[in-house]
Amino acid sequence: MADPDRGFDAIVVGEFERAFYGDQYKQLAPPFALYGVQLWLPELNGPVDATNELHVSLLALLGVHSRREAQRSRFRSKAAMRAQVIEQGRHLGGRPPYGYRLVDAGPHPNAGHAKWGRRAQRLEPEPTSAPHVQWMFAQRLAGRSVAGIALGS
């Protein structure tokens, strides 16, 4: 399938959602033709013919579907993460924001992680810096600008 000097002679796409997003095929078709790369899709039961209007239309449709599926996946992931934060009070990772610290929140909800001894964490106000954060928010709510609060004026 591959020639060390030329690269790939053919690319077989198993799942179109992972191949082209939006109009990417239209952008990649010229380099594919230039280098003699043939694209194979299960939806076509074989190679794509870039001169066939139906093939090009199908690729455009699959690109739109792929874009839609990526957006749906992004939405579902963000919704699940939001639910973990709001409903379970979990901290999803990273450095805690200024004014907070990480505290133990019990066993990890994922049984596999819990089996390894991992624990869930949640954010809690940090006693020495939390009052400063509360003051900054109070100042902002009182109408002071961010720059004015930072400068202390």
Looking at the structure, tell me whether residues 55 and 105 fall in a common domain: no
Looking at the structure, tell me whether residues 33 and 66 fall in a common domain: yes
Q: Which residues are 107's β-sheet partners?
A: 119
Q: How far apart are CA 150 and CA 22, in angstroms?
A: 43
What count of residues does the chain have? 153
Structure confidence at residue 130 (pLDDT): 95
**Is pTM, for the whole model, over 0.85?**
no
Could you give the C-alpha distances from 28 to 38, 76, 115, in angstroms and in order?
11, 29, 46
Calculate the average pLDDT of the chain.
85
Mean pLDDT along residues 22-28:
84
* Residue 71 structural domain: 2-86
pLDDT digits (tens, 9 = 90+) for 105-153: 888 888 888 899 988 888 899 999 999 999 999 999 999 999 999 998 6
Could you give the C-alpha distances from 104 to 90, 123, 124, in angstroms and in order?
10, 9, 10
Identify the H or E element spanning 12. Answer: strand 10-12
Number of domains in the chain: 2
Residue 141 counted as domain residue:
yes
Residue 140 counted as domain residue:
yes
Structure confidence at residue 76 (pLDDT): 95
